[in-house]
């Protein structure tokens, strides 16, 4: 199946600089190779994983196998990287698998606005407005988000049961219990926004929504955004 994220990147990246934020997880989820094939002029991978970890080596192996040229690799927390100018800027930025892991997602979005000159492809896990599972049904208002650390009792059981069908115990803090709800911990799933909330947060942070597309059975949503002038 076509990946809407790849389609969005291909539409805007030719002749432009490109950064992939948080693309190391699972290695094959990176979008550097997509941007290269679509004609990006300079490629950068940004991830808070330390240089000594295996993920960077696996990414470099994949890059070579796919015939992708040298990539600038930045091992740093994006919030710290863009905290003090001069911070790097890129024509096109891809951010997937990060938003719902950040305790303060609005801070992430304003950070992305700082480093994005033209286009942002933003992807996040989202919640359905009607979450149905073996534990029952939970109605979620369109203009809201589920804050995972606050889920209790029946609400938690419904949401947990729903996501177990898709990720097993892979949703740390939701389908796998964690005690480490700390401000600098980006491992747990902190937030499950609705699609409308995700859109509104992006536009509030200074982006214009050009296109959007659900995928993964409606459990994820990706947006092609342009920076507001």
**Chain segment 38-83, per-residue pLDDT in tens:** 999 999 999 998 888 899 999 999 999 999 999 999 999 999 999 8
Residue 1 pLDDT greater than 80, yes or no:
no
pLDDT(114) > 90: yes
Same domain for 91 and 67:
yes
Q: Are 20 and 97 within one domain?
A: yes
Q: Same domain for 181 and 84?
A: no
pLDDT in tens, 146-167: 999 999 999 999 999 999 999 9
pTM: 0.95
Check whether residue 149 and residue 167 sit in a common domain.
yes
Q: Which residues constitute the domain of residue 220?
A: 4-126+194-227
54 and 23 in a common domain: yes
Supply φ then ψ for residue 176, to 5 degrees: -130, 120
Residues 106 and 206 in one domain: yes
Both 111 and 212 in a single domain?
A: yes
Instruction: pLDDT band for 8, please (50, 70, 90 cuts).
Output: very high
| Residues 121, 216 within the same domain | yes
Question: Phi, psi at residue 191, to the nearest 5°?
Answer: -130, 145
Q: Cα(173)–Cα(83) distance, rounded to whole angstroms?
A: 28
Domain count, the chain: 2
Look-up of token digits 């001069």: 86
Indicate whether 110 and 30 sit together in one domain: yes
* For residue 134, pLDDT beyond 90: yes
Could you give the CA distance from residue 91 to residue 76 in angstroms, rounded to a whole number? 20
- Environment class of 166 (CB within 10 Å of its CB; exposed 0-12, middle 13-18, buried 19+): middle
- We report the CATH number of the domain holding residue 30 as 3.40.50.150
């Amino acid at each position: 199946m076509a990946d809407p994220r790849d389609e969005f990147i291909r539409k805007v990246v030719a002749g432009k600089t490109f950064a992939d934020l948080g693309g190391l997880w699972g290695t094959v989820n990176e979008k550097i190779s997509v941007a290269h094939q679509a004609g990006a002029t300079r490629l950068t991978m940004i991830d808070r994983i330390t240089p000594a970890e295996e993920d960077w080596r696996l990414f470099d192996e994949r890059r070579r196998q796919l015939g992708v040229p040298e990539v600038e690799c930045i091992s740093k927390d994006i919030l710290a990287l863009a905290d003090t100018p001069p911070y790097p800027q890129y024509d096109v930025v891809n951010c997937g698998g990060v938003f719902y892991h950040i305790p303060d997602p609005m801070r992430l979005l304003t950070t992305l606005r700082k480093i994005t000159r033209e286009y942002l492809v933003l992807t996040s896990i989202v919640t359905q407005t009607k979450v149905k599972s073996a534990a029952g049904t939970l109605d979620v208002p369109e203009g809201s988000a589920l804050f995972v650390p606050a889920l209790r009792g029946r609400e938690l059981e419904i949401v947990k049961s729903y996501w177990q069908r898709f990720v097993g115990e892979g949703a740390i803090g939701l389908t796998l219990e964690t005690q480490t709800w700390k401000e600098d911990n980006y491992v747990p799933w902190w937030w499950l926004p609705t699609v409308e909330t995700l859109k509104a947060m992006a536009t509030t942070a200074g982006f214009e929504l050009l296109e959007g597309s659900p995928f993964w059975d409606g459990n994820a949503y990706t947006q092609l955004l342009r920076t507001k002038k």
